[in-house]
Amino acid sequence: MAGIVQFENVGLRYGTGAETLSDLSFSLAQGSFYFLTGPSGAGKTSLLRMLYLSQRPSRGSIRLFGEDVVQLRRARLPGFRRRIGVVFQDFRLIPHLSAFDNIALPLRIAGVDERDLVTPVREMLAWVGLADRASARPPTLSGGEQQRVAIARAVIGRPEILVADEPTGNVDPEMAARLLHLFDALNTLGTTIVVATHDIHLLSRVASANVMRLEHGQLQDPTGALRYPPRADAEGHG
């Protein structure tokens, strides 16, 4: 089966300097759980941005859900983005909206009826432990609370891919474990999960997870599990 995400010889260059990321070739299997690690500045956020269609690669091809998204017409991008949930490293909550409205945003953008979104949003608030902060605005929330709102917003639309950039950076270990449990539960329901983190303690928390390691702009692939095209023994060519 072809991966839900396929990078082939992808390179990314900001401005005119050296490539921040080069020769990325990998394939992510649908329904799997991936950690993306690497030192600060290695390019994790950059890789994820290409994955959630906020940055075009300088070269190479990216396929999502079986379609080339590098050459995609602008008008088709929203359709792809609605299938991807993103937890941004810097949260990007909308400051004048309450926690409830921030979490409801993806549903409203997708055109869900107001009556139909109250229950799921309330459930989601409860799940991330913020049931009593529904009407609080982000500036009045702690860093960890904001992060949980950001996570709730990313998963409320039941995305096929969930991309999370340092989703546990601001929470205590106990909350980090709970959030990972939430991701794991989503993964069980079929969502493909990609979590960037430099917290190596997290890696062992999800037994089934694959680990991708970025260093010096290149993907280290000790196991070969991510290689694309897959090895000859896996797919029969290459």
Partner 1 sequence: MLGASQADRRLLPEGRLAGPMPWVIAIMMFLTALAAAAGLAMGDAAHRLGGDLGRQVTVQIVAADPGVRDREADAAQHVLANQDGVSGLHKLGGDEMQALLQPWLGDAGLDRDLPLPAMIDVDLTDAGRARLDRIAAALVVAAPHARIDDHASWLAPLVALIRSLGLLAGGIVAMMVGATAAAVVLAARSALNTHRQTIDVMHMMGSTDAQVARLFQRRLALDALFGAVVGLVGAIVVILGIGRRLGEIGSGLVGSITLPWTAWAALLALPILAGLLALAVARITVQRALARTL
User: 230 by DSSP, 3-state: which?
Assistant: coil
Q: Which of 8, 29, 31, 105 is in the footprint of partner 1 by CB under 8 A?
A: 105
x/- string (CB under 8 A) for partner 1, residues 185-214? Answer: ------------------------------
The secondary element (H helix, E strand) that includes residue 177 is helix 173-188
* Helix (H), strand (E) counts: the chain: 8, 10
Residue 77 interacts with which of Mg ion, partner 1, ligand ATP, none, CB < 5 to 8 Å by class: partner 1
Residues 6+ apart with CB under 8 A from 49: 55
d(CA 194, CA 63): 16
Residue 75 interacts with which of partner 1, Mg ion, ligand ATP, none, CB < 5 to 8 Å by class: partner 1
Which part of the chain contacts partner 1 (CB under 8 A), choosing from 11-19, 23-31, 90-98, 222-230?
90-98
Which part of the chain contacts ligand ATP (CB under 6 A), choosing from 35-43, 66-74, 104-112, 177-185?
35-43
Supply the minimum distance, in Å, between the C-beta of residue 180 and ligand ATP.
18
Query: Of residues 70-109, which lie at the interface with Mg ion (CB under 5 A)?
Result: 89
Supply the minimum distance, in Å, between the C-beta of residue 169 and partner 1.
19
d(CA 128, CA 87): 14
Looking only at the bridges linking them, the beta strands covering 33-37 and 21-28 are unpaired
Looking only at the bridges linking them, the beta strands covering 210-215 and 218-220 are antiparallel
Residue 56 interacts with which of Mg ion, partner 1, ligand ATP, none, CB < 5 to 8 Å by class: partner 1
Closer to Mg ion at the Cβ: 44 or 63? Answer: 44
Q: How many CA within 13 A on the CB side of residue 189?
A: 12
Kindly list the residues in this chain that would bind Mg ion in the complex (CB under 5 A).
44-45, 89
